[in-house]
Amino acid sequence: MRVVALVPGGISDQILFFPTIDDLKRYYPNAQIDVVVEPRSKSAYRVSKSVHEVLIFDYKDRNSLADWGNLVGTIRDREYDVAIAVGQSWLVGLVLWLTGIPTRIGYKGKGSVFLTNPVSPSSSQYTAAVYHELLRPLGIDTPAPDLAINLPKPDLEWAQKEQKRLQVHETGYVLIYCGYSHLSNPQSLDTIYPVANWYEIIQDFEQKQPILPLVLIKEPDNEQIVRSLLEYSANLKVTSPNNIGQLAAMIGGANLMLSTNSPPLHLSVAVQTYTIALFGSAEPAKLLPKNDKFLAIKSPTGKMADISPQIVLEKIWGG
């Protein structure tokens, strides 16, 4: 069986879709599963254990009819048996209808007239579970499996060397993903936690657990925040993974992960690291599974900046 899944969205959306494709592969071991994703999201599949090929299409671009026509041709040439559309779009539905794929699955709503098997989504559930409901027309009606990833051996080896470089391989460490900077991602204001708040948390942590190192995750989008935090404390350490596999391997070695709503948060869930997550306007129930290892702190106002450092510290120390 040849399957193609059209999955718009960022890296977080792809990671949350992993349980669906993993379960599909479990029920149909000989299935070849391809995905069509936006350019910004291709890197997520470095840690997927079930996808055969990643095709690129920028769903959010101002695509011409020729662009959509090329997508139809690309999909049609591969002669898929099943198509799964994540999201609701009449254009995507039309594309799948034009490809002639016999089984076309997606959510009821925009574009579902072009589907052979529309599914009613459950909007209140964990997003990974909502995605998993798309497998019902294929006879898979079991609960969604836990989020999981496949870590390449070179990435695990890199993380081991990085932990030795940082001198945290024997002590353990707390990993902090402090979010994006306002300048690099102005559309993500509710995922930004102020530097002053982070410093208050870091200062308290250094006082109560001076022998447990704190490691900041540095990426191009948050260099400004990391630089500011380093000015507050000379004891902080910094890691800069080159890819999503290295990042996940570093998260997997941590004693605790502190994170805003972001792709590193979902990687932390996948590797089962104890996690405290900060949420602005997003609903934690949709982005975190029910598990005592993953604790959510939701802003009372919908703005990340309004989460009190004292509330975060109470979660950390179990108060």
| pLDDT tens-digit readout, 69-101 | 999 999 999 999 999 999 888 899 999 999 999
**Structural domains of the chain in order of their starting residue, each with its CATH number:** 2-138 (3.40.50.2000), 153-317 (3.40.50.2000)
Name the 3-class secondary structure at 35.
Answer: strand
17-65: pLDDT as tens digits: 999 999 999 999 999 999 999 999 999 999 999 999 999 999 987 888 8
Digit-coded pLDDT (tens) for 226-280? 999 999 888 999 999 999 999 999 999 999 999 999 999 999 999 999 999 999 9
Distance between CA 285 and CA 95 in Å, rounded?
Answer: 32
Q: Which residue has the tokens 């308290």?
A: 204
pLDDT at 311: 95
By the 8 A CB rule, do 54 and 24 touch?
Answer: no
Query: Which residue has tokens 């604790």?
Result: 295
What is the pLDDT at residue 189?
Answer: 54
Residue 178 has pLDDT above 80, yes or no: yes
Residues 6+ apart with CB under 8 A from 314: none
The confidence band for 184, taking pLDDT boundaries of 50, 70 and 90, is: very low
Confidence of residue 183 (pLDDT cuts 50, 70, 90): very low
> Is 45:17 a contact under the CB 8 Å cutoff?
no
- Per-residue pLDDT of 289-300, as tens digits, reads 999 999 999 999
pLDDT at 121: 82
* Paired residues of 295 in beta bridges: 276
Q: How does DSSP assign 166-198, residue by residue?
A: TT-TTT--EEEE----TTT-TT-GGG---HHHH
Distance in angstroms (rounded) separating the CA atoms of residues 301 and 306:
7
The radius of gyration of the chain's CA atoms, rounded to the nearest angstrom, is 21
